[in-house]
Every structure is written in structure tokens, then in C-alpha cells.
Amino acid sequence: MCRSCVTTTEAPNWWHSPPAEASWEPGGTDQEPSAERASGWDRALVGFTGEVLNAPQTHDGQEQGPTLVRFSDPAGLADWVASLLLRERRLRPERPLGLATGRTMEPIYASLVRQVKGLTPAEQQELRKHWCSFNLDAYVGLDRADPRSFAAEMTSRLTTPLGLDPEQVHLPDGQAADSHAAAECYAAQLAATGGVGLQLLGLGLNGHVGFNEPPCEADAPCRCVELNPATRHQNAGAFGGNPEAVPERAISLGLRDILAADRLLLVVTGAAKAEVLARALQEPPTPELPASWIQLHPRALVVADGEACSVLQASSDVSEGVA
């Protein structure tokens, strides 16, 4: 995949513009957003301290491929991503927010909580009133109250700190007697809301997004999946470091559900993810690397730290304008 280098310290313009259909603003009216309102939302974003490395290439008049943004400051990365999530939630409350779990997301959610608490009481109340989010996945067989479950993680990191109703933070039912039926029900529940507006994603060491383990086609539906041994090893930290204690199965939104989101936001941090990130962005999309399917999405943004970009920079020679 080859795209021209557009190295700049200005934030991606597309992410600074409110969607054309947006018609609601906390404390505002139901009028269509004006240019003044748009700039007001731009100012609400945390200051952009990253660097845009690659922009989508244009093919037949349409932009294709993800935009890549690099941050050298981990705190700046977390704050900016959190501000995008908050802005999306406030600007388009009619569309659910797609959320993820994992170590990459921890500083992002911590920053999101801080930013929400910086709003006025009225703005916080409005945010809670309209909150709706759907998580990517959940382990099969873990009680929601189990501290190792994704439900418990969301409760401790977002639901409780933000004062949300647990019914507003949706996760697959990993305790259902029929996990396959539960997966179908979860997909139908999401579809009934109109689908995800902005989907937050992390990247697995084997290239999975959600729990879509390789090989995985781009049209894979929400389903119950068998977890790869590498994934169980990667997630063992929450299970006392024992991969065998990690559940063998999970319910996950499929690539079909993920790619149906209006916008994708893939966040990648750490040197351990450098090689798989480079492959996901530079090699042709393939079932063997599920994350590579994001190349097909017209509105995808990849936000990574310097360590995660290191292999990609070396192999694409960004400094000479080849990516």
C-alpha cells in the first residue's frame, strides 16, 4: 500500500469537522450546525501535539486508506483520543459509541473521565442522559461482576466514574446458555440503534481487532469465537499471568460490524505492536491479518506512538515521502 507522505503537525481536518447531519449540541437548539458552531467544537478538542504522517490516497475521486498520526508523548496521545471520543459522544448522541478494552485503552479512559469532570454540571447531566455505547467483545463464561471480565473493567473505568446507568454501556452476554444466539442478539441490538458512529479499536499482536482472530474475512459477523493461544497469552495479565486461566471463547463483533461503523479509530502503542502495525497498513488486506481490513474503510484514523510506528517508518521510509 503506497500513499504520499503529508508530514504535518496540524490535526487531520476531517476529524475537526462535525458531520453534516449533526443537529444537536448540549445547551443549543435543533438548528443545523453553522460554521461558528463547527469552530466551537474544534476549540473543544484537546490541543493536537501529534504529527500526521500519511493521508489517504485518492482513487476515482474517493479517499481510500487510513490516515496515520504519530504521537511522541503518550499523555498527549491519550488526551487527544479521549477528546475525540467525548466530542463524538456530545455531538452525535443519536449514534452509539463503539468501545474497546485492554491496556492501550486504560490511559484513554482515565483522560476521558478527567475531561468529562471538567464539563459543567449541566453538560455532564446531558452527556449521561444521552450516553450509549457498545463494546466490541466479552469473554464467554465470566460473570459480569468478575473483576477479570470486560464488564467489570468498563464499570470501574467508565460507568461508575461517569455516573452512567449500566444499561447504557452494552456488552455481549458472555454468560448466556447459548453463546451463538447471544452473539446474534447483540448484533441485532446494535443494528436497531442505527449502528456505531465512531468505533474505537485496539490491535492484537497477531493482528486481531475485537476478538476476530486470524484467519478472518471482512464479512465475518458477530459470533462466538475460539481464542488463539497467542491472544490468551497476551491477555494473561488479568488472570494472574496464567494463559490457561483465560477463557477459551469470547463473543465478538465481527469485521462486518466493525467496518459498518461510520468512522474507525485504531489506537496502537508500544514497540511490541510495531511489526504487526506495519503489516496491517502496508500489506494487502488479508484474512491472515484481520486488522488489515481497515484499509478498506473510507474514514479510518490510526493513532500510534513513536515505538509502534518504528518499523513502519523504517520500512516505508517516511522521511523520503514514501509510505
Active-site option among 63, 123, 146, 206: 206
Residue 275: φ, ψ to 5°: -65, -45
Annotated catalytic, 137? yes
Sign of CA dihedral 24, 30, 31, 36: negative
Active site residue 213: yes
Q: 88, 126, 137, 257: which one is catalytic? A: 137
Euclidean distance between CA atoms 20 and 202, whole angstroms: 28
- Catalytic hit among 25, 88, 173, 213: 213
Cell of 309: 510506528
**In sequence order, what are the residues at sequence separation of 6 or more whose Cβ sits closer than 8 angstroms to the Cβ of residue 49?**
71, 73, 76, 80
Alpha-carbon span 62 to 195, nearest angstrom? 23
**206 included as an active-site residue:** yes
Could you give the CA distance from residue 200 to residue 264 in angstroms, rounded to a whole number?
A: 6
What's the 3-state SS for 228-283? CHHHHHHCHHHHCCCHHHCCCEEEECCHHHHHCCCEEEEEECCHHHHHHHHHHHHC
Active site residue 170: no
Catalytic residues: 137, 206, 208, 213
